[in-house]
């Protein structure tokens, strides 16, 4: 945070496999050492380098390996390095998470690219995963921060794999201005266009993280509408996607809609349960399970066929207002327990 406040970032150095959290004064010293080594190799000021770490908590960094790794990485910077970085930051991830979005602002083509990691210990607040976003847009630091913060709140912060918020990790956006558009320094059409493109990139990476939840077999998307306030909408949607019982039911393809109603009930969101509608939908079709807070006489066989797919949309209508929210998660499987039962060893 000191470096973000005091300079314009030129590089990010990251290690995977070790969180460097709960490691005391030595851990902080090692974090500074990582930025110092990177700055020296790249002829940058120390404050122009940010540092990130992810992995096991409470273990000192192996600085001999870190030092060697930084040396080798700085020697091998190239135009395809983004894919190498996307691979290097993985922990229990099963695939690279990358995105590229193109838009036009003031007659100039703007690119926004990003890489992310995240599979377990995912319940952002903002934390729990890495996302590094890069753009050639010319935009002030203040407006880039505003666009990122607003997008994060509706993308990464609406993901939950297991309800556990991590000790560390981050989302960072860097802009180099090479697109040479008129600099975005205030609200307006140009800022809105940029934020829309950035949000598309962040939402895409959020879905990848949810889909790649540890041991997951299904991507779940909650589309909730009809809430009294935005806060109510987000609380209700996030509560459903976080519920271990809801996630377990989807793993077993069990249309146990009562668990969804229960999760809504303890969400702290304000709504009238007698107005709630619940529908499942995907490429197989759609099926309404709840109408006005009560179960319908739905087709169990069709429900199971929908739930057997690897992507399921859960549509909730609170019928109580004009606000909506979307949240992403995954099913909870035997493999999640297996992976985390031996994560450190």
Catalytic residues: 128
What is the distance between the alpha carbons of residues 20 and 281, in angstroms, rounded to a whole number?
A: 42
Q: What is the strand order of the sheet 130-135 is part of?
A: 97-105, 108-117, 130-135, 170-175
Q: Which of 167, 185, 165, 162 is nearest to 175 (CA)?
A: 185
Q: Which of 36, 22, 42, 89 is nearest to 67 (CA)?
A: 36
Return the structure tokens found at 101: 């979005």
DSSP H helices in the chain? 2-6, 24-42, 63-75, 81-88, 141-154, 189-211, 230-242, 244-251, 257-265, 300-307, 334-341
Q: Which of 289, 330, 302, 42 is nearest to 159 (CA)?
A: 330
What is the distance between the alpha carbons of residues 143 and 193, in angstroms, rounded to a whole number?
A: 12
Q: Is 102 helix (H, G, I), strand (E, B) or coil?
A: strand
Q: Which residues contact 28 (CB under 8 A, 6 or more apart)?
A: none
Return the structure tokens found at 195: 């934020």
Separation of CA 37 from chain center:
29
């Amino acid at each position: 945070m000191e470096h973000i406040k005091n300079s314009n970032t030129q590089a990010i150095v990251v290690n995977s496999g070790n969180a460097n959290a709960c490691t005391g004064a030595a851990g902080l010293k090692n974090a500074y050492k990582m930025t110092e080594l990177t700055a020296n190799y790249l002829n940058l000021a120390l404050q122009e380098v940010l540092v990130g770490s992810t992995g096991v908590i409470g273990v000192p960094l192996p600085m001999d390996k870190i030092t060697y790794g930084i040396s080798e990485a700085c020697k091998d910077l190239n135009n395809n390095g983004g894919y190498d970085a996307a691979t290097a930051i993985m922990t229990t991830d099963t695939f690279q998470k990358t995105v590229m979005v193109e838009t036009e602002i003031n007659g100039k083509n703007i690119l926004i690219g990003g890489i992310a990691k995240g599979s377990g210990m995912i319940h952002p607040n903002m934390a729990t995963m890495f996302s590094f976003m890069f753009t050639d847009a010319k935009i002030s630091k203040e407006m880039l921060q505003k666009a990122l913060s607003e997008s994060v709140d509706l993308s990464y912060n609406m993901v939950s794999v297991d309800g556990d918020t991590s000790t560390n990790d981050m989302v960072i956006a860097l802009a180099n201005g090479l697109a040479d558009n008129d600099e975005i320094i205030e609200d307006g059409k140009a800022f809105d266009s940029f934020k829309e493109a950035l949000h598309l990139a962040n939402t895409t990476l959020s879905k990848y993280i949810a889909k790649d939840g540890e041991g997951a077999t299904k991507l779940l998307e909650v589309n909730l509408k009809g809430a009294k306030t935005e806060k109510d909408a987000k609380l209700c949607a996030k509560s459903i996607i976080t519920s271990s019982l809801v996630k377990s039911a989807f793993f077993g393809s069990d249309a146990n809609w009562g668990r969804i109603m229960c999760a809504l009930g303890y969400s702290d969101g304000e709504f009238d349960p007698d107005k709630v509608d619940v529908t499942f939908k995907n490429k197989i079709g759609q099926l309404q399970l709840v109408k006005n807070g009560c179960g319908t006489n739905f087709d169990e066989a069709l429900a199971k066929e929908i739930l057997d797919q690897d992507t399921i949309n859960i549509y909730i209508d609170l019928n109580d207002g004009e606000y909506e929210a979307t949240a992403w998660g995954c099913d909870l499987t035997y493999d999640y327990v297996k992976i985390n039962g031996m994560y450190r060893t």
